[in-house]
Amino acid sequence: MDATTAVFLTIVTAATPLLLAAIGELVVERSGVLNLGVEGMMVMGAVSGFGAAFLTGNPYVGVVASIIAGMAMALLFGFLTLTLVSNQVATGLSLTLLGLGLSGLLGESFVGEPGVRLPKWLGVDILIPISFVLTAAVAHVLFRTKAGLVIRAVGDSHDSAHALGYRVIAVRYACVLFGGACAGLAGGYLSLVYTPQWIENMTAGRGWIALALVVFSSWLPWRVVAGAYLFGAISILSYTVQTFAMGFPSQLLSSLPYLVTILALVVISANRRLTRTNTPACLGQPFVPDR
Protein backbone atom coordinates (compact mmCIF):
# COMPACT_ATOMS: atom_id res chain seq x y z
CA MET A 1 0.00 0.00 0.00
CA ASP A 2 1.50 3.34 -1.04
CA ALA A 3 1.46 6.45 1.13
CA THR A 4 -1.36 8.15 -0.83
CA THR A 5 -3.67 5.16 -0.47
CA ALA A 6 -2.86 4.86 3.22
CA VAL A 7 -3.65 8.54 3.85
CA PHE A 8 -6.91 8.27 1.87
CA LEU A 9 -8.07 5.22 3.84
CA THR A 10 -7.19 6.98 7.09
CA ILE A 11 -9.32 9.96 6.06
CA VAL A 12 -12.18 7.63 5.15
CA THR A 13 -12.10 5.94 8.55
CA ALA A 14 -12.02 9.32 10.30
CA ALA A 15 -14.91 10.68 8.22
CA THR A 16 -17.27 7.69 8.43
CA PRO A 17 -18.50 8.16 12.05
CA LEU A 18 -19.10 11.85 11.30
CA LEU A 19 -21.08 10.95 8.18
CA LEU A 20 -23.19 8.33 9.96
CA ALA A 21 -24.09 10.62 12.85
CA ALA A 22 -24.69 13.68 10.67
CA ILE A 23 -26.94 11.94 8.13
CA GLY A 24 -29.17 10.74 10.98
CA GLU A 25 -29.32 14.19 12.56
CA LEU A 26 -30.15 15.70 9.15
CA VAL A 27 -33.33 13.61 8.99
CA VAL A 28 -34.19 14.61 12.56
CA GLU A 29 -33.81 18.30 11.81
CA ARG A 30 -35.67 18.01 8.53
CA SER A 31 -38.67 16.93 10.61
CA GLY A 32 -38.36 20.08 12.72
CA VAL A 33 -36.65 18.58 15.78
CA LEU A 34 -33.30 19.84 17.10
CA ASN A 35 -31.50 17.09 19.00
CA LEU A 36 -28.26 18.30 20.57
CA GLY A 37 -27.75 14.94 22.24
CA VAL A 38 -25.83 13.36 19.34
CA GLU A 39 -22.64 13.15 21.40
CA GLY A 40 -24.46 11.29 24.18
CA MET A 41 -26.09 8.85 21.79
CA MET A 42 -22.77 8.21 20.05
CA VAL A 43 -20.87 7.46 23.25
CA MET A 44 -23.62 5.14 24.45
CA GLY A 45 -23.49 3.36 21.11
CA ALA A 46 -19.73 3.03 21.50
CA VAL A 47 -19.80 1.46 24.96
CA SER A 48 -22.79 -0.76 24.17
CA GLY A 49 -21.26 -1.97 20.93
CA PHE A 50 -17.92 -2.74 22.54
CA GLY A 51 -19.50 -4.39 25.56
CA ALA A 52 -21.81 -6.62 23.53
CA ALA A 53 -19.03 -7.63 21.15
CA PHE A 54 -16.63 -8.32 24.03
CA LEU A 55 -19.12 -10.42 26.01
CA THR A 56 -20.35 -12.46 23.04
CA GLY A 57 -17.23 -12.48 20.89
CA ASN A 58 -19.39 -11.43 17.94
CA PRO A 59 -18.80 -7.94 16.48
CA TYR A 60 -22.11 -8.03 14.59
CA VAL A 61 -23.93 -8.35 17.90
CA GLY A 62 -21.97 -5.27 18.93
CA VAL A 63 -23.25 -3.38 15.87
CA VAL A 64 -26.85 -4.26 16.73
CA ALA A 65 -26.30 -3.30 20.37
CA SER A 66 -24.87 0.08 19.39
CA ILE A 67 -27.91 0.82 17.23
CA ILE A 68 -30.31 -0.21 19.99
CA ALA A 69 -28.46 1.93 22.54
CA GLY A 70 -28.64 4.97 20.28
CA MET A 71 -32.34 4.40 19.68
CA ALA A 72 -33.00 4.01 23.41
CA MET A 73 -31.37 7.36 24.13
CA ALA A 74 -33.29 8.92 21.24
CA LEU A 75 -36.54 7.47 22.55
CA LEU A 76 -35.89 9.13 25.91
CA PHE A 77 -35.25 12.42 24.13
CA GLY A 78 -38.41 11.98 22.05
CA PHE A 79 -40.55 11.24 25.09
CA LEU A 80 -39.31 14.32 26.90
CA THR A 81 -39.53 16.74 23.97
CA LEU A 82 -42.38 15.38 21.83
CA THR A 83 -44.69 13.93 24.47
CA LEU A 84 -43.89 16.09 27.50
CA VAL A 85 -42.96 19.09 25.29
CA SER A 86 -39.80 19.98 27.20
CA ASN A 87 -37.28 22.41 25.74
CA GLN A 88 -35.38 20.67 22.95
CA VAL A 89 -32.08 22.50 23.47
CA ALA A 90 -31.93 21.88 27.22
CA THR A 91 -33.06 18.27 26.83
CA GLY A 92 -30.48 17.57 24.14
CA LEU A 93 -27.68 18.98 26.28
CA SER A 94 -28.90 16.92 29.23
CA LEU A 95 -28.94 13.81 27.03
CA THR A 96 -25.29 14.37 26.17
CA LEU A 97 -24.34 14.74 29.83
CA LEU A 98 -26.33 11.62 30.68
CA GLY A 99 -24.67 9.63 27.92
CA LEU A 100 -21.16 10.69 28.92
CA GLY A 101 -21.74 9.83 32.58
CA LEU A 102 -23.64 6.59 32.03
CA SER A 103 -21.17 5.30 29.43
CA GLY A 104 -18.30 5.90 31.85
CA LEU A 105 -20.14 3.89 34.51
CA LEU A 106 -21.09 1.02 32.19
CA GLY A 107 -17.69 0.88 30.51
CA GLU A 108 -15.56 0.96 33.64
CA SER A 109 -15.02 -2.81 33.57
CA PHE A 110 -14.14 -2.76 29.85
CA VAL A 111 -11.22 -0.35 30.11
CA GLY A 112 -8.03 -2.07 28.95
CA GLU A 113 -9.83 -5.13 27.61
CA PRO A 114 -9.01 -6.32 24.05
CA GLY A 115 -11.58 -5.35 21.45
CA VAL A 116 -13.37 -7.48 18.88
CA ARG A 117 -12.87 -5.84 15.49
CA LEU A 118 -15.57 -5.82 12.84
CA PRO A 119 -14.29 -7.84 9.84
CA LYS A 120 -13.48 -6.12 6.57
CA TRP A 121 -15.45 -6.71 3.38
CA LEU A 122 -13.33 -6.86 0.23
CA GLY A 123 -10.56 -5.15 2.17
CA VAL A 124 -12.82 -2.31 3.36
CA ASP A 125 -14.60 -1.86 6.68
CA ILE A 126 -18.20 -2.83 5.93
CA LEU A 127 -19.67 0.26 7.61
CA ILE A 128 -17.92 2.52 5.09
CA PRO A 129 -19.99 1.44 2.05
CA ILE A 130 -23.03 1.24 4.33
CA SER A 131 -22.57 4.93 5.15
CA PHE A 132 -22.80 5.79 1.43
CA VAL A 133 -25.80 3.51 0.91
CA LEU A 134 -27.47 5.16 3.88
CA THR A 135 -26.78 8.63 2.48
CA ALA A 136 -28.19 7.66 -0.93
CA ALA A 137 -31.27 6.17 0.72
CA VAL A 138 -31.87 9.31 2.80
CA ALA A 139 -31.46 11.55 -0.26
CA HIS A 140 -33.89 9.40 -2.24
CA VAL A 141 -36.51 9.19 0.50
CA LEU A 142 -36.39 12.89 1.40
CA PHE A 143 -36.66 14.26 -2.12
CA ARG A 144 -38.25 11.54 -4.25
CA THR A 145 -40.89 9.86 -2.10
CA LYS A 146 -44.14 10.83 -0.41
CA ALA A 147 -42.68 9.90 2.97
CA GLY A 148 -39.88 12.40 2.44
CA LEU A 149 -42.36 15.06 1.40
CA VAL A 150 -44.30 14.46 4.62
CA ILE A 151 -41.10 14.73 6.70
CA ARG A 152 -40.16 18.01 5.05
CA ALA A 153 -43.73 19.31 5.38
CA VAL A 154 -43.72 18.53 9.09
CA GLY A 155 -40.41 20.35 9.47
CA ASP A 156 -41.47 23.38 7.46
CA SER A 157 -45.00 23.83 8.81
CA HIS A 158 -46.23 21.37 11.39
CA ASP A 159 -49.58 23.14 11.74
CA SER A 160 -50.29 22.80 8.01
CA ALA A 161 -49.16 19.17 8.01
CA HIS A 162 -51.45 18.46 10.96
CA ALA A 163 -54.34 20.20 9.21
CA LEU A 164 -53.81 17.91 6.21
CA GLY A 165 -54.18 14.88 8.47
CA TYR A 166 -50.56 13.89 8.96
CA ARG A 167 -49.53 12.63 12.40
CA VAL A 168 -46.81 15.15 13.22
CA ILE A 169 -45.71 13.61 16.51
CA ALA A 170 -45.51 10.10 15.02
CA VAL A 171 -43.44 11.35 12.08
CA ARG A 172 -41.07 13.15 14.41
CA TYR A 173 -40.74 10.12 16.68
CA ALA A 174 -39.78 7.98 13.68
CA CYS A 175 -37.17 10.53 12.57
CA VAL A 176 -35.75 10.91 16.08
CA LEU A 177 -35.39 7.13 16.38
CA PHE A 178 -33.68 6.96 12.99
CA GLY A 179 -31.28 9.68 14.08
CA GLY A 180 -30.56 7.78 17.29
CA ALA A 181 -29.87 4.58 15.36
CA CYS A 182 -27.39 6.39 13.11
CA ALA A 183 -25.66 8.08 16.05
CA GLY A 184 -25.43 4.79 17.92
CA LEU A 185 -23.99 3.11 14.82
CA ALA A 186 -21.44 5.92 14.53
CA GLY A 187 -20.39 5.26 18.11
CA GLY A 188 -20.20 1.55 17.42
CA TYR A 189 -17.92 2.29 14.48
CA LEU A 190 -15.50 4.03 16.83
CA SER A 191 -15.24 1.14 19.31
CA LEU A 192 -15.47 -1.72 16.80
CA VAL A 193 -13.56 -0.37 13.79
CA TYR A 194 -11.73 2.93 14.30
CA THR A 195 -10.07 1.98 17.60
CA PRO A 196 -11.33 -1.48 18.70
CA GLN A 197 -11.30 -0.77 22.42
CA TRP A 198 -13.27 1.16 24.99
CA ILE A 199 -11.92 4.48 26.25
CA GLU A 200 -14.07 6.78 28.34
CA ASN A 201 -15.35 9.74 26.31
CA MET A 202 -13.88 8.22 23.16
CA THR A 203 -16.25 10.20 20.92
CA ALA A 204 -14.12 13.27 21.79
CA GLY A 205 -16.60 15.86 20.52
CA ARG A 206 -17.43 14.14 17.22
CA GLY A 207 -21.13 14.46 17.99
CA TRP A 208 -20.81 18.24 18.04
CA ILE A 209 -18.96 18.20 14.73
CA ALA A 210 -21.75 16.05 13.28
CA LEU A 211 -24.28 18.68 14.39
CA ALA A 212 -22.22 21.39 12.74
CA LEU A 213 -22.01 19.32 9.55
CA VAL A 214 -25.79 19.40 9.18
CA VAL A 215 -25.73 23.20 9.12
CA PHE A 216 -22.55 23.19 7.02
CA SER A 217 -24.33 21.04 4.41
CA SER A 218 -27.45 23.28 4.35
CA TRP A 219 -29.53 20.21 5.26
CA LEU A 220 -28.66 18.42 1.99
CA PRO A 221 -27.50 14.75 2.26
CA TRP A 222 -24.72 14.68 -0.34
CA ARG A 223 -23.20 17.87 1.02
CA VAL A 224 -22.93 16.05 4.35
CA VAL A 225 -20.60 13.57 2.64
CA ALA A 226 -18.37 16.36 1.37
CA GLY A 227 -18.35 18.05 4.78
CA ALA A 228 -17.61 14.82 6.66
CA TYR A 229 -14.63 14.02 4.44
CA LEU A 230 -13.37 17.58 4.67
CA PHE A 231 -13.42 17.48 8.45
CA GLY A 232 -11.99 13.96 8.41
CA ALA A 233 -9.08 15.22 6.32
CA ILE A 234 -8.51 18.14 8.70
CA SER A 235 -8.45 15.74 11.67
CA ILE A 236 -5.87 13.52 10.00
CA LEU A 237 -3.85 16.57 8.95
CA SER A 238 -3.53 17.65 12.57
CA TYR A 239 -2.11 14.23 13.54
CA THR A 240 0.19 14.17 10.53
CA VAL A 241 1.68 17.55 11.33
CA GLN A 242 2.29 16.42 14.91
CA THR A 243 4.13 13.35 13.60
CA PHE A 244 6.60 15.47 11.68
CA ALA A 245 7.25 17.63 14.76
CA MET A 246 7.14 20.91 12.86
CA GLY A 247 7.19 23.00 16.02
CA PHE A 248 3.45 23.64 16.30
CA PRO A 249 1.95 23.16 19.79
CA SER A 250 0.20 19.76 19.95
CA GLN A 251 -2.75 21.31 21.78
CA LEU A 252 -3.32 23.75 18.92
CA LEU A 253 -3.15 20.99 16.32
CA SER A 254 -5.56 18.79 18.27
CA SER A 255 -8.08 21.64 18.40
CA LEU A 256 -7.79 22.31 14.66
CA PRO A 257 -10.95 20.36 13.62
CA TYR A 258 -13.02 22.23 16.19
CA LEU A 259 -11.59 25.60 15.22
CA VAL A 260 -12.43 24.87 11.58
CA THR A 261 -15.94 23.87 12.66
CA ILE A 262 -16.46 27.21 14.42
CA LEU A 263 -15.04 29.11 11.44
CA ALA A 264 -17.31 27.26 9.00
CA LEU A 265 -20.39 28.00 11.10
CA VAL A 266 -19.48 31.68 11.32
CA VAL A 267 -19.05 31.91 7.54
CA ILE A 268 -22.31 30.08 6.86
CA SER A 269 -24.25 32.14 9.41
CA ALA A 270 -23.08 35.33 7.71
CA ASN A 271 -24.79 34.23 4.49
CA ARG A 272 -28.45 34.70 5.37
CA ARG A 273 -29.68 33.61 1.97
CA LEU A 274 -27.87 30.30 2.29
CA THR A 275 -29.13 29.63 5.80
CA ARG A 276 -32.74 30.40 4.88
CA THR A 277 -32.81 28.28 1.71
CA ASN A 278 -33.10 24.83 3.29
CA THR A 279 -33.49 25.50 7.01
CA PRO A 280 -36.68 23.81 8.28
CA ALA A 281 -38.97 26.65 9.32
CA CYS A 282 -40.22 24.83 12.42
CA LEU A 283 -36.79 23.63 13.58
CA GLY A 284 -36.76 23.44 17.36
CA GLN A 285 -40.37 24.55 17.72
CA PRO A 286 -42.65 22.37 19.90
CA PHE A 287 -45.92 21.07 18.54
CA VAL A 288 -49.00 20.33 20.61
CA PRO A 289 -51.85 18.87 18.55
CA ASP A 290 -55.35 20.23 19.07
CA ARG A 291 -57.41 18.12 21.38
> Strand locations in 29-105, DSSP E?
none
10 Å CB burial of residue 273 (0-12, 13-18, 19+) is: exposed
Q: Which residue type sits at 102?
A: L
Position 52 in a domain = yes
Give the pLDDT confidence score for residue 110 in this predicted structure: 93
pTM of the model: 0.92
- Whole-angstrom distance, CA of residue 136 vs CA of residue 265: 25
Instruction: Tally Cβ neighbours within 10 Å of residue 59.
Output: 23
Give the pLDDT confidence score for residue 23 in this predicted structure: 97
Burial track 93-113 (b if 16+ CB lie within 10 A, e otherwise): ebbbebbbebbeebbeebeee
Position 158 in a domain = yes
10 Å CB burial of residue 64 (0-12, 13-18, 19+) is: middle
Instruction: Tell me the CATH number at 151.
Output: 1.10.3470.10
Averaged pLDDT of the chain: 90
pLDDT, one tens digit for every residue, the chain (291 residues): 566 777 788 889 999 999 999 999 999 999 999 999 999 999 999 999 999 999 999 999 999 999 999 999 999 999 999 999 999 999 999 999 999 999 999 999 999 898 899 988 888 899 999 999 999 999 999 999 999 999 999 999 999 999 999 999 999 999 999 999 999 999 999 999 999 999 999 998 899 999 999 988 889 999 999 989 988 888 777 766 666 655 666 667 677 777 877 887 777 777 777 667 778 999 999 998 875
Q: Give, in order, the Cα–Cα distances in Å from 258 to each of 139, 167, 234.
A: 27, 38, 10
Q: Indicate left, alpha or beta for 103 from its phi (over 0: left) and psi (-120 to 50: alpha).
A: alpha
DSSP calls for 12-41: HHHHHHHHHHHHHHHHHHHTT-----HHHH
Cα 166 from chain centroid (whole Å): 27
- Whole-angstrom distance, CA of residue 166 vs CA of residue 9: 44
Position 287 in a domain = no
Position 284 in a domain = no
Position 31 in a domain = yes
Give the pLDDT confidence score for residue 253 in this predicted structure: 67
Widest pairwise Cα distance in the chain: 65
Give the pLDDT confidence score for residue 4 in this predicted structure: 74
Q: Give, in order, the Cα–Cα distances in Å from 127 to each of 16, 113, 131, 190, 192.
A: 8, 23, 6, 11, 10
Position 289 in a domain = no
**Secondary structure of residue 173 in the 3-state scheme:** helix
Cα 14 from chain centroid (whole Å): 13
- Whole-angstrom distance, CA of residue 213 vs CA of residue 228: 7
Q: How many domains does one find in the chain?
A: 1
Position 140 in a domain = yes
Give the pLDDT confidence score for residue 121 in this predicted structure: 86
- Whole-angstrom distance, CA of residue 284 vs CA of residue 93: 13
Digit-coded pLDDT (tens) for 218-261: 899 999 999 899 888 887 777 666 666 556 666 676 777 778 77
Range of the domain at 241: 3-278
Position 290 in a domain = no
